[in-house]
Amino acid sequence: MEKENNKNDYVNSKALFVLKIVTMSFAILAFVIVATAMLTRWIMDLERKTKESNTKMAKAAAKLNKFRKDRIKHILKQRKLQIKEEKKDKKRKNFDRAKRMSDADDIDPDTDENCDDISDDEIAVNDFDKELSDILQDDEI
């Protein structure tokens, strides 16, 4: 029995208890390191994806802005062409009106059977046309 008592009791010894504590501490430390590494990796991946999505959004916004600018330029160009066309039409109408007036001046009202006296309504319409053309000319200047 003495032999058995002299034998170290490894199961209940203090050294084994300390060794268990140190081993558990290293296991916990290893777990914390692995968890930190995984979280760091996930955060880096998330940051990279965020940057990619931001660049995609920035590219899309740039394309949208370019499209808007091109559309505005197109509209302005069309408006300039429309204004030119309106000016040509107005010149043509003014030329035609002047030509009709000169042709009307050439006709002798005494000899022409179709030229009757101008009624008050026709005079009012002509006055309105003159005022309207004056207003339009003032707007262009």
| pLDDT value, residue 136 | 74
pLDDT, tens digit, 9 for 90 and up, residues 100-122: 777 766 665 555 555 556 777 77
The number of CA neighbours under 13 Å toward the Cβ of 99 is 6
| pLDDT value, residue 108 | 55
Q: Where are the domains of the chain?
A: 2-107
Residue 115 near residue 107 (C-beta atoms within 8 A) = yes
pLDDT, tens digit, 9 for 90 and up, residues 11-22: 667 888 889 999
What is the percent of the chain with per-residue pLDDT over 70, rounded to a whole number? 79
Residue 122's contacts (CB-CB under 8 Å, 6 or more residues apart) are: none
CA-based nearest residue to 38, from 50, 46, 27, 28? 46
Region 58-71: mean pLDDT is 88
Region 47-53: mean pLDDT is 89
pLDDT at 90 over 60: yes
